[in-house]
Amino acid sequence: MGAGGPAEARAAGQAAPRVDVGAAPDAPAGQGEQTARLYALLHAGNQGDLAFYRDVCRGAATALELGCGAGRILAPLAADGVEVTGLDNDPARLAFARRALQGPRGGAGATLVVGDMRDFALGRRFDRVLIPFNGLFALGSVEAMGACLRAARRHLAGDGILAFDVYRVDEQDYLDEEPWESDFEPVTTLMWRGQAVSVDERNAGDGTPGHVHVSYRVNLPEGPVVQHVVHRFAPWSVIEDLVRAAGFGGVEARGGFDGAPLDETSSQVVVLATVEDPDGDRARRAAGRLAAGAACQPARGLGVRRRLLGDAAEGASDGGLVAAKAGAARAG
Ligand SMILES: C[S@@+](CC[C@H](N)C(=O)[O-])C[C@H]1O[C@@H](n2cnc3c(N)ncnc32)[C@H](O)[C@@H]1O
């Protein structure tokens, strides 16, 4: 954070952090609360991703996260002193984000917006635009990914940085045109109200290349609850074309949050893109700086059909979900 930024303002004892939640409700109730809580537990991110996004935002005054969910990334960034804006189309998840942002460490000011990341207009630009943890794959089509990247470009300051990560998709997986379905298989264990509960995962392809329907069966003591998610995968070659077509000049892709080169053994594609950077020097410098500072474990090398949850879900606990997320800023 540069001189005179929000962190300095807080240190100087100025006004308490502001959390402007727009249309986000107070707290989800009943089934909505359980669904959002389970979703947040199941989507705990990949090892090293939080440290990566915090690094990307070091020195930035403002950041916009598209598909911010329950605030897993947003709250630690706010605690770092970045003025954050989170946009998501799920009000129940935003309600968790609101709680995370109002946690004990507070933040430099935060805005939560219920919106569609394929098409939105916030009327301002940001130093960083982030789309963490496969957010692009939640959008349903390659066209939708392109629309989201164009909206991201419109909201990025001229000298800003777009950062996102997606799983690396084998061309072979992408071209799979036969419908297929796996059995439910155990994938992780979560702590739910003080009890360990197992989670099973089933994946199915509907015959459309890149479409995967994922079902998580969470074996709660009162009976199993199944959550469904549809992913639209695309290989990096397709996404890179979308990024460039959206108006980004410098595009730097790495194979992990530790800055490893991208190759056929990579599990992830971690991307930094800039606007006024035709030779890609700024994006490359930013990536190099991150690689030097990173202390990440290598990502698990799983096939795309077995790695949809992210590798941080194991052992995630609903005990103090929000506090744990805010605490990640201290631990990370
Ligand atoms: C995989 S989660 C990532 C959550 C968060 N960024 C993180 O890293 O933990 C994807 C998020 O995108 C949101 N989402 C999906 N489609 C969206 C859309 N069209 N507009 C806005 N948000 C969307 C979902 O509600 C979900 O919270």
User: Which is the closest atom of ligand 1 to the Cα of 133?
Assistant: 8
Q: Could you tell me the residue ranges of all domains in the chain?
A: 14-169+233-331, 174-229
Q: How far is the CA of 201 from the centre of ligand 1 (A)?
A: 19
Pocket test for ligand 1, best of 88, 129, 268, 308 (most atoms within 8 A of CB): 88
Residues with CB under 6 A from ligand 1: 43, 45, 67-69, 72-73, 88-90, 93, 116-118, 132-135, 138-139
Q: 307: pLDDT confidence band, cut at 50, 70 and 90?
A: very low
Q: Which two tokens stand for residue 98?
A: 């609101």
User: Which is the closest atom of ligand 1 to the Cα of 43?
Assistant: 9
Query: Which residues 6+ apart lie within 8 Å of 29 measured at CB?
Result: none
- Among 44-58, 136-150, 297-311, whose mean pLDDT is lowest? 297-311
Report the C-alpha gap between 148 and 131 in whole angstroms: 10
Quote the percentage of the chain above a pLDDT of 70. 73
- Mean pLDDT, residues 275-297 taken together: 63
Q: How far is the CA of 117 from the centre of ligand 1 (A)?
A: 9
Report the C-alpha gap between 259 and 197 in whole angstroms: 34
Is 90 exceeded by the pLDDT of residue 326? no
Nearest CA to ligand 1 atom 12: 67
Task: Report phi then psi at 134, rounded to 5.
Answer: 65, 20
Q: Which two tokens stand for residue 71?
A: 């605030």
Q: 80: pLDDT confidence band, cut at 50, 70 and 90?
A: very high
Q: How far is the CA of 281 from the centre of ligand 1 (A)?
A: 30
Query: Which residues 6+ apart lie within 8 Å of 165 measured at CB?
Result: 46, 49, 52, 132, 133, 134, 257, 268, 269, 270, 271
Q: What is the pLDDT of residue 249?
A: 87
Pocket test for ligand 1, best of 43, 148, 311 (most atoms within 8 A of CB): 43
Give strand pairing partners of 254: 270
Q: How far is the CA of 138 from the centre of ligand 1 (A)?
A: 7
User: Which is the closest atom of ligand 1 to the Cα of 116?
Assistant: 20
Nearest CA to ligand 1 atom 19: 116
Report the C-alpha gap between 332 and 328 in whole angstroms: 6
Exposed (0-12), middle (13-18) or buried (19+): which is 285, by Cβ within 10 Å?
Answer: middle
Pocket test for ligand 1, best of 96, 112, 117, 167 (most atoms within 8 A of CB): 117
Q: For residue range 35-67, what is the model confidence (pLDDT) as tens digits? A: 878 887 888 889 899 999 999 999 999 999 999
Q: For residue range 225-262, what is the model confidence (pLDDT) as tens digits? A: 998 888 888 999 999 999 999 999 889 999 999 999 99
Other C-beta atoms lying within 10 Å of the C-beta of residue 128: 24
Q: Which two tokens stand for residue 173?
A: 């997986």
Q: How far is the CA of 279 from the centre of ligand 1 (A)?
A: 31
Contact 56, 165 (CB under 8 A): no
Q: For residue range 178-232, what is the model confidence (pLDDT) as tens digits? A: 888 889 999 888 888 888 999 999 988 888 888 888 898 999 998 999 988 888 8
Q: How far is the CA of 69 from the centre of ligand 1 (A)?
A: 5
Nearest CA to ligand 1 atom 20: 116
Compute CA distances 312 → 47, 72, 180, 300, whole Å. Answer: 6, 12, 27, 11
Give strand pairing partners of 268: 167
* Sign for the pseudo-dihedral over CA of 9, 10, 14, 18: positive
Contact 209, 232 (CB under 8 A): no
- Cα end-to-end span (Å), the chain: 17
Please give the single-letter amino acid code of residue 79: A
- What CATH fold (topology level) applies to the domain 14-169+233-331? Rossmann fold (3.40.50)
